[in-house]
Amino acid sequence: MKMQKNFLFDLDGTLLPMDLPKFIELYIQAFCRKFAHKVQIAPKQLAQAIWEGAAAMGKNDGECLNREVFWRALNNACKKDMRAYEDEFDEFYRNEFIAAKAATSENPAAQRAIKLLRQRGGKLIVATNPIFPKAATYTRLRWAGLEPDDFDYITVYDNCSYCKPNLNYYHEICHFCGISPEDSIMVGNDVDEDMCAAKLGLDTYLVTDCLINRRSKSLDRYRHGSFEDFYHWLLDNE
């Protein structure tokens, strides 16, 4: 087979193994500890507002950046101008967000794969659902034992106007990075959000270490395996 030139990687559960429910729990707890008193909103209301912001980004149809959608929804849910705290939110992701790291781990196979692919050339892209600001995404990359500079492009909430599984999310990446779907592969752990990239013409690899398969689809239709398997697949296809 022809080896793809450009590699798109999901982050949470793919490059960064994690217990997703535990991660969300620790993240929201830390966020509310930091901000509930400061913004004078009850922790449960603040947590719900964050969820509403994320849900709004998930429905973004390209009218504006996800960042704008998030802050609009957050302001509506909190009944006040929350954007005044944007810089403090970023500081949270660089500092107190560390509480959520306990739900994650490093995967040496992911680190070896990125090192190998950097030597080969082609574009390396972090195609994580862009519902977080840059500070939060870069922090999670470092938890994975990687650096933002390892990649040519990283999707965050202020450079994307769509979210997975909207195919326009993948189309936007290809457009911004100047790559062809047919020369690219999406590597991820979510059957619905990552494997749908195939509909646009990308090759795919389903990483099963932290598999998300909401509708219990058969995996037979996808090339799949652990990240260690994926790394050996790369070696076999040099």
Pinpoint the alpha helices (H) of the chain: 20-39, 43-58, 66-78, 86-94, 108-120, 134-143, 167-177, 227-236
Specify the pLDDT at position 237: 85
pTM of the model: 0.95
Q: Are 56 and 69 in contact (CB under 8 A)?
A: yes
- Which of residues 53, 78, 101 is at a domain's end? 101
Same-domain status, 26 and 90: yes
Same-domain status, 196 and 206: yes
DSSP label at residue 4: P
Specify the pLDDT at position 2: 57
Q: Are 13 and 20 in contact (CB under 8 A)?
A: yes
pLDDT at 110 over 90: yes
CATH number for the domain spanning 199: value is 3.40.50.1000
Residue 185: what are its φ and ψ, rounded to 5°?
-135, 140
pLDDT at 1 over 70: no
**Tokens coding 212:** 């998300």
Q: CA distances (Å), 182 to each of 63, 90, 125, 186, in order?
A: 27, 36, 15, 11
Same-domain status, 97 and 126: no
Structural domain tally of the chain? 2
- Which of residues 101, 121, 150 is at a domain's end? 101
DSSP label at residue 199: G
Looking at the domain assignment, is residue 1 inside a domain?
no
- Which of residues 101, 126, 154 is at a domain's end? 101
Q: Give the span between the Cα atoms of 97 and 135, in whole angstroms.
A: 10
Same-domain status, 14 and 69: no
Sign of CA dihedral 177, 179, 184, 189: positive
Q: Are 65 and 159 in contact (CB under 8 A)?
A: yes
Domain assignment of residue 26, given as a range:
21-101
Q: Give the span between the Cα atoms of 19 and 101, in whole angstroms.
A: 10
Same-domain status, 13 and 81: no
Same-domain status, 134 and 58: no
Mean pLDDT over the full length of the chain: 96
65 pLDDT tier (thresholds 50, 70, 90)? very high
